[in-house]
Amino acid sequence: MKIAMWSGPRNLSTAMMYSFGARSDFTVMDEPFYAAYLAQSGADHPMREEILAAQTTDPGEVAALCSAPFPTPHLYMKHMPHHMLEGFPLDWAQDCVNVHLIRHPARVIASYAAKREAPTLEDIGFVQQHALYEKLGGIVIDSTDIRARTEHMLRALCDAIDLPFDPAMLSWPAGPRAEDGVWAAHWYGAVHQSTGFAGAEGELPRLEPDLINLMQEALPYYHDMERQKLT
């Protein structure tokens, strides 16, 4: 089985990668299209030059990598929808179980803005994720539900994709992993300190006035996918 997990940034995506990576029957892959996205878009992201040096910038080569054999029974690929620019190959995803990890825009924006100033709708990926869901279909799961009812939601996800649940998914060793992208040094600090999923989230964060409009732009895409989520 190949799982393509589609998620915007600041959305429990690294913890989910660690969860599946804790299973002995999975290989995991961390955002393989990141350098190709940066090269073609020209986006000025933290550690841009390091990322461009660490990965191939040819989207065709990345697509071939996503279709290549892997050494374990299953493969888990962490992907960002906004990395899939116009013209990037997507046929490889037709052979995957596509899962869409969502999170309320207020939580995403508050977390993202703490790491990078002035996020845009393009940066947080809601429009692109919604478009990919409409194109590929698949399963929707909300990160807030995972944190509130971790084992229940992981079991529900495994059931939905016809994969036996493994209790190893509930914890992992603290610290970085060999599979981490080079950008982990900037983005993965909190998850490197963790040994499992954090507990239930509190109330929605209060955003600065200049970020409220961004949340309002993203909400319709989130709510449309939220209606399809696992419970």
Q: What is the pLDDT of residues 5-53, one digit of tens each?
A: 999 888 899 999 999 999 999 999 999 999 999 999 999 989 999 999 9
Q: What is the pLDDT of residues 45-80, one digit of tens each?
A: 899 999 999 999 999 999 999 999 999 999 999 999
Q: What is the pLDDT of residue 195?
A: 97
User: With bands split at pLDDT 50, 70 and 90, how would you rate the model's confidence at 210?
Assistant: confident
| pLDDT beyond 90 at 117 | no
| pLDDT beyond 80 at 115 | no
Least confident residue range of 122-126, 157-161, 163-167: 122-126
Q: What is the pLDDT of residue 159?
A: 98
Q: Report yes or no: 46 and 186 within 8 Å, Cβ to Cβ.
A: yes
Q: What is the pLDDT of residue 116?
A: 74
Q: What is the pLDDT of residue 149?
A: 98
Least confident residue range of 93-97, 140-144, 199-203: 199-203
User: With bands split at pLDDT 50, 70 and 90, how would you rate the model's confidence at 230?
Assistant: very high
Name the pTM for this structure. Answer: 0.94
Q: What is the pLDDT of residue 10?
A: 84
**2-226 belongs to which homologous superfamily?**
P-loop containing nucleotide triphosphate hydrolases (3.40.50.300)
Q: What is the pLDDT of residue 135?
A: 96
